[in-house]
Structure 1
Amino acid sequence: MADSLREQLLKSGIAKQVPETRPARPAGSKPGQGRAAAKSGAALRGKGGGHPVSSRKAAGDGEDINLAKAWAVRAQVEQKEKRQAEAEAAEKARQKRERKLKLQQLLEGKALNIEAAEQVRHFTYGGKIRRIYVNDEQLKALNAGELGVVQKDGRYLLVSRDIALEVQTLEPRVLALLVEPGQGGVDEDGIPDDLMW
């Protein structure tokens, strides 16, 4: 009777010898602890204390998940920034078209240029010396600040002061010349406006 049931079954040939798949329980451990307790104990001993770590593979998976989340968040932020930049560019383009249309409507039929004018009025615009042909009366009015010059599509248009001021408000960069009244016909650089070059 000293033989256990297992040994008796093996002797009779009813049961076969099966290699053990589970490691033996460490001495002093309780029946419910199993391998996880042994591994956590080993992890604690290897780390010198601290929080138990289940395994390196599980920790690596968590890092991969965090990295994947970080990349996804980054991609979303980049897409959002790209959409925002495209929207801003589209808005700027729309505003530019609107200003161009308003400028065109404002200048429609308001040019005072005379084809037969022979008097030349020089002025600086865009860092270069430019010229517009005017008659004697227009030259005096231009030098007095009653008329202005606007650049449109590569041409210089002579317009009234009111129109020039509206253009300056709408699109300041296309206002080529507008003399302030009371300057006495002298440009910023001290050269008289009516000086013939």
Structure 2
Amino acid sequence: MADSLRDQLLKSGIVKQLKDEKRPQQTAPRPHASPAKGKPPHKPKPARSDGEIDLAKAYAIRAQKDAEERKRVEQEAAEQARLKRERKANVQKLLEGQLLNKADADQVRHFEYGGKIRRVYVDAAQLADLNAGKLGVVQNGGRYLLVPQAVAEQIRELDPHLVALLVDPAAAGVDDDGIPDDLMW
């Protein structure tokens, strides 16, 4: 059992010993050089096939692709932000001089917007026009603004989410009790 694996392979005939095989001879250490202790001998790198790339190149390629993806996402976000600013500026231009909200309005018109019941204060004439579809309600800057139907339609074309209430005149109906159909609970 003291035979090494090499000796066992030679005895079995599986491996033939080459006569010109020489064991590497150790060279005598140079007097001024310190011997390398604990370092394995330098092995040459195995030749790579064309399909293989080294790990450093793979990481570099991956990092480059990640950077390109981040840059693309940032550009898309910047473009979306630019478009949103343009829409907001266009809405502000449409709203200039078109607001019909009155400070002394005494009636409340309730409507559903964003999954919640909201309200806007109007007078009697505005309430009738709002229920008839002649006026609309637009949400801007956290406020609900009363605007003419034409302005509400233009804003709907720019950003449909901003139109909080615009009654379709053809579908607008009032029950016998004078309450609009969309207010019935």
Q: TM-score range by the shorter chain?
A: 0.5 to 0.7
Q: Distance in 2 between matches of 1:60 and 1:144?
A: 83
CA contact (8 A) 1:143 1:193 kept: no
Identity of matched residues, %: 56
Q: 1:184 to 1:79 in 2, by over 3 A?
A: closer
Misfit runs of 4+, over 4 Å: 60-65, 193-197
Is there any run of 5+ residues in structure 2 with no aligned partner, and where? 1-18, 22-42
Once the two structures are superposed, residues 48-78 of structure 1 have per-residue CA deviations (whole angstroms, 9 ceiling, x without a partner) of xxxxxxxx73217889962222111111111
The amino acid of 1:122's aligned partner reads H
Q: Cα deviation per residue 1:64-112 (whole Å; 9 max; x = unaligned)?
A: 9622221111111111101101111111111111111111111111101
Q: What's the CA shift for 1:171?
A: 1.3
Structure 1 vs Structure 2 CA RMSD:
3.1
Residue 125 in structure 1 maps to residue 110 in structure 2: no
> Quick one: distance in 1 between partners of 2:170 and 2:52?
75
User: Which structure would you say has the larger Rg?
Assistant: 1
Q: TM-score, with normalisation over the residues of structure 1?
A: 0.64
The residue type equivalent to 2:146 in the other structure is: L
Q: Structure 1 unaligned runs (5+)? A: 1-24, 28-55
CA distance in 1 between partners of 2:97 and 2:169 (Å): 25
Q: Cα gap change, 1:149/1:121 in structure 2, threshold over 3 Å: closer, same or farther? A: same
Matches of residues 150-189 of structure 1 in structure 2 within 5 Å? 150-185=138-173
Q: What's the TM-score once normalised by structure 2's chain length?
A: 0.67
Task: Name the CA shift for 1:93/1:194 in 2 (closer, same or farther; >3 Å).
Answer: closer
Number of aligned residues: 143
Candidates 108, 127, 133, aligned match of 1:145: 133
Match status 1:100 vs 2:88: yes
**Shift of residue 159, structure 1, vs aligned partner:** 0.5
Change (3 A) 1:61 1:194: closer
Q: Which residue of 2 aligns with 1:6?
A: none
**1:70 maps onto 2:58 in alignment:** yes
Q: What residue in structure 2 maps to residue 12 of structure 1?
A: none
Higher relative contact order (CA 8 A, sep 6+): 2
- Asked if 1:111 is matched to 2:111, the reply is no
Alignment of 1:21-100 (within 5 A): 26=20, 57-59=44-46, 66-100=54-88
